[in-house]
Amino acid sequence: EIVLTQSPGTLSLSPGERATLSCRASQSVDNNYLAWYQQKPGQAPRLLISGASNRATGIPDRFSGSGSATDFTLTISRLEPEDFAVFYCQQYGSSALTFGGGTKVEI
């Protein structure tokens, strides 16, 4: 199974600041099949990005994804109060899908 390592574990920022989240894979992710999700307390996750850089329907353009092979990044250009949450990356390029351990973005 591909292991995804997310960093940092926690990111302390203020509204209006830029957030940069990293996701590193233990081996190359086929076809850059890498997704990002946001999860708020007590809620199910929400898909933000698929295919490393394609925003899901209804996702604001302040969220952007980039990267390839083993190194991927989620960037939130200007944090809004509702953006504070835990973010997960997930690879689906192999038969066994895997999630990263998550990055908490807190105020």
Partner 1 sequence: EVQLVESGGGLVQPGGSLRLSCAASGFTFSSSWMHWVRQAPGRGLVWVSRIKSDGSYTTYADSVKGRFTISRDNAKNTLYLQMNSLRAEDTAIYYCAGGGSGYIFNWGEGTLVTVSS
Residue written as tokens 């302390």? 12
Give the separation between CA 48 and CA 82, rounded to whole angstroms: 14
Give the separation between CA 104 and CA 107, rounded to whole angstroms: 10
Residue 1 interacts with partner 1 (CB under 8 A): yes or no: yes
Total residues contacting partner 1 by CB under 8 A comes to 26
Residue 2 interacts with partner 1 (CB under 8 A): yes or no: no
* Binding letters toward partner 1, positions 47-86, x by CB under 8 A: x--xx----xx----------------------------x
**Which of residues 19, 21, 23, 90 is near partner 1 by CB under 8 A?**
90
Give the separation between CA 13 and CA 62, rounded to whole angstroms: 15
Helix (H) or strand (E) holding 76: strand 71-76
The residues of the shown chain that bind partner 1, judged by CB under 8 A, are 1, 33, 35, 37, 39, 44-47, 50-51, 56-57, 86, 88, 90, 92-93, 95-102
